[in-house]
Structure 1
Amino acid sequence: MALRFRRSIKLAPGIRMNLSKSGMSWTLGPRGASVGIGKRGARLNTSFMGFSSSQSLYKPPPRQRQSTTRQSASPTRYISLTCGVTDDGVLTFHDRDGNELSESMVELAKKQNREAILELIQRKCDEINGELDALANIHLDTPSPHSRPSFVPESYIPSAPLPPALSLPRWWEKLLPKRLAKLEAAHQQAVAHHHRQLEAWEQDKARHEQEQERRQRFIEHDIHHDIAAMERWLEETLQDIAWPRETLISLEIVEQGQHIRLDVDLPEIEDMPSKTAAVPVRGLKLSVKNLPAVQVRKRYMAHVHGVGFRIIGETFAALPCVHRITLSGFSQRNDPATGQVRDDYLYSVNVERDDWERIDFMALEMVDVVESLAQFDLRRQMTKTGIFKPIQPI
């Protein structure tokens, strides 16, 4: 009897969960980031990733007084500006109000802050090329199926509150009974407060220890026998992965947890990065070029197979009771007959645990994921350059 569960979970910053009876799914994906430079004052102050510099940026010409020919320097003028690099490699310079700087001011900024601006350009270059590497190398962190889940206890960090120190009366206080009584009352009040703190600390520690016991049972027993625990554990495992692209996964657990069917909503080829960047030796600029269409398709081919490879590996490692995984990957495409968007399955594969264990997980950099999945029971219609034809999933 097949048990079906469906859940949809949106990763941070918020979590959205929907439950139904037809299966389980969740969404995984990263968040973006931006970089910039801040500069202020008559001297140009620049900060990039811990690097900072300060040089003279602008001085107005001296002003003559009407009563004398002596010249005096004008007051220091403080300005602020922001420098950035677009995805196309264009350097931008704006003032505090967001207005573009004049060419002369831009040249001053470049001349006096060359190293800092180069740092920003190199970071943008690494960001563009790093995205390509992340998509191509997602399979490199696939765990071995021989690594089994283990419980790692977490210590209760807060230490027990210390009892109040007894304040000894000074010699003159011993001569005043009311003063002694006041000191004693204050000490008893501190003791009572400490008792309440200690009681709360002991209760929190007991709750922590109980939670640790539940967590240990969950990892060492429940995920091997309980379907709901298997779902939850696999969800936690896949959410911990830094996915370079948002990925929707649906699953169905059958055969008492020995077989898992996975449907993966793969990214579209239009979402793939199509540019590569380089920093020229001369000049303050970033060279960004479009990749040839064939290279984009090959990178897409490697990525969608890498996603399937990684999910299969994570599932086998997370759930030792699973002996077979059926994974099918699909993508949204426009139907040329109707113009409407449809789901086209790109590949579908059946993998037995015994066959999966033959892969050398200590040498994944030598594994071609496109060829690796082909050694299993695979359905796929694809050219060598990464053009997919839709297939009927297993």
Structure 2
Amino acid sequence: MVARRRRGAADADQYKPEAHSSDGAVVYVRVQEDGEFVITDDDGQPYDETELRVLRKYAGEGMRDMLQQACDRLNADLSALATVHCDTLSPRDKPAFQSRAFPEPEPQRNPLLQPTLWSRIWPPARRRLEEQNERRAEQYTRAFSEWEEAARAFNEQERQRREQETELVLTNLDAMANILEEHLGEIPWPRETSVSFDLGDDASTIAIDIELPEEDAFPDVEYTLAAKQPKVSVKKIAATRRRMLYRDYAHGVAMRVLGEIYHRLPTVQVALISAYVPTLDTGTGQPTENYLYSVLVTKSQWREINFKALANIEPPATLERFELRRKMTKTGVFKAIEPFDVEALANEVGI
């Protein structure tokens, strides 16, 4: 039995677009969560009112562009959460390997220092020049040796990865688990999302549990730039829209995980995915799970999806094509369900 757990989360970094006014000054605009924005110079110092009037006069359009970019950045979560399924991979029957080149460039030899007139006529100066050139040569030799050793280690890792992803993946459960864990870990989930899986004793089936984030972790505001003025408005997202965003993400995650399974593990024919949110038992106060849905998907069913039209697909409707347990209203209100057990997974083998 091979069971693994993989946790992923997107990194949130500060976004600070820049533009240049006509006099060459660097301008930074940072929009804050309350919609207020700050305009600073290259050293982070705010411009005064006189300077701002000049900027608006000569760099007004550039400032609007920067504000729009900042709004887009703040709203990026909304798009990422709604379209997490759009990068779902198509199924494969044969293993494939994509090699990677060693990322570090080969060190270059520094040119030798050329003798000067003084070093030609003064022996101590000549010795210093020779010593400097010797140090340069030694530094290059050491750097090249370290690079060569790192390149050999990298190439050996690539050889092992090739063997694992083209040969062992067909027969070895540990290799299958390693491959799936690695690629699931590379998914930049826009909200913290955990995936655990169990390959059991059969390379043709897999059971997956997905721990979803709470709906409260989803954005509740949207940022828009005024039509004519350099002003950012913060608009509250309606509760229904937020629930539907959560609904789409909850189902889109399953599609993304299924894509990895049927793309990376050619021998898997049936997958069971169950998604839950952690909670506390109201009777005991102990941690427990509220399962939102549980779905059985065969590889033959998965092939029916048009993976070239993922942007036109609604993940909740996609999962409804399979054997699905779910209690959900049209507006995305979930009720807890009892997920399929592994016996149901075993019964699907051979379909």
Tell me the TM-score normalized by structure 1: 0.69
Distance between the aligned counterparts of 1:111 and 1:339, measured in 2? 62
Secondary structure of 2:241's counterpart equals helix
Aligned twin of 2:319: 373
For the Cα contact (< 8 Å) 1:55–1:112, is it kept in 2? no
For the Cα contact (< 8 Å) 1:324–1:353, is it kept in 2? yes
Residue pairs, 1:292-371, within 5 angstroms: 292-333=238-279, 342-371=288-317
Aligned twin of 1:242: 188
1:53 corresponds to which of 21, 25, 33: 21
Q: Does 1:27 align with 2:18?
A: no
One-letter code aligned to 2:290? D
Shift of 1:350: 0.9
For the Cα contact (< 8 Å) 2:106–2:144, is it kept in 1? no
Distance between the aligned counterparts of 1:142 and 1:4, measured in 2? 24
Deviations 1:255-293 (A, max 9, x none): 422111111110111011122222222111112211111
Deviations 1:316-350 (A, max 9, x none): 11101111111110013466667776421100111
Secondary structure of 2:199's counterpart equals strand
Residues 287, 253 of structure 1: alpha-carbon distance in 2 compared, 3 angstrom cutoff:
same
Distance between the aligned counterparts of 1:198 and 1:109, measured in 2? 50
Aligned twin of 1:77: none
Residues 131, 210 of structure 1: alpha-carbon distance in 2 compared, 3 angstrom cutoff:
closer
One-letter code aligned to 2:9? G
Aligned twin of 1:124: 70
Aligned twin of 1:227: 173
Q: Does 1:263 align with 2:231?
A: no
Shift of 1:144: 0.7
- The worse-fitting range, judged by mean Cα deviation, of 370-379 and 85-94 is 85-94
Structure that is richer in helix per residue? 2
For the Cα contact (< 8 Å) 1:264–1:327, is it kept in 2? yes
Residues 342, 211 of structure 1: alpha-carbon distance in 2 compared, 3 angstrom cutoff:
closer
Aligned twin of 2:96: 150
Aligned twin of 1:291: 237
Deviations 1:90-123 (A, max 9, x none): 2235799999887677666555542343233111
Residues 106, 145 of structure 1: alpha-carbon distance in 2 compared, 3 angstrom cutoff:
same
Distance between the aligned counterparts of 2:256 and 2:298, measured in 1? 15
Distance between the aligned counterparts of 1:214 and 1:160, measured in 2? 26
For the Cα contact (< 8 Å) 1:148–1:317, is it kept in 2? no
Distance between the aligned counterparts of 1:4 and 1:214, measured in 2? 20
Question: Unaligned stretches of 5+ in structure 1?
Answer: 6-23, 37-47, 58-79, 166-185
One-letter code aligned to 1:117? M
Secondary structure of 2:65's counterpart equals helix
Aligned twin of 2:160: 214
Aligned sequence identity (%): 31
Secondary structure of 2:246's counterpart equals helix
One-letter code aligned to 2:190? P
Distance between the aligned counterparts of 1:85 and 1:198, measured in 2? 46
Larger Rg: 1
For the Cα contact (< 8 Å) 1:128–1:275, is it kept in 2? no
Residues 232, 105 of structure 1: alpha-carbon distance in 2 compared, 3 angstrom cutoff:
same
Tell me the TM-score normalized by structure 2: 0.76
Structure that is richer in strand per residue? 1
For the Cα contact (< 8 Å) 1:330–1:345, is it kept in 2? yes
Secondary structure of 1:27's counterpart equals strand
Shift of 1:199: 8.5
Deviations 1:132-176 (A, max 9, x none): 1111111111111137542234556867999x99xxxxxxxxxxx
Residues 155, 108 of structure 1: alpha-carbon distance in 2 compared, 3 angstrom cutoff:
closer
For the Cα contact (< 8 Å) 2:20–2:27, is it kept in 1? no
One-letter code aligned to 2:218? M
Residues 340, 226 of structure 1: alpha-carbon distance in 2 compared, 3 angstrom cutoff:
closer
Distance between the aligned counterparts of 1:161 and 1:95, measured in 2? 37
Secondary structure of 1:127's counterpart equals helix
For the Cα contact (< 8 Å) 1:335–1:342, is it kept in 2? yes
Aligned length: 320
Using CA pairs below 8 Å that are at least 6 residues apart, which structure has the higher relative contact order?
2
For the Cα contact (< 8 Å) 1:278–1:286, is it kept in 2? yes
Distance between the aligned counterparts of 1:93 and 1:230, measured in 2? 51
- The worse-fitting range, judged by mean Cα deviation, of 335-344 and 262-271 is 335-344
Question: Unaligned stretches of 5+ in structure 2?
Answer: 113-130, 341-351
Residues 278, 208 of structure 1: alpha-carbon distance in 2 compared, 3 angstrom cutoff:
closer
Distance between the aligned counterparts of 2:313 and 2:217, measured in 1? 25
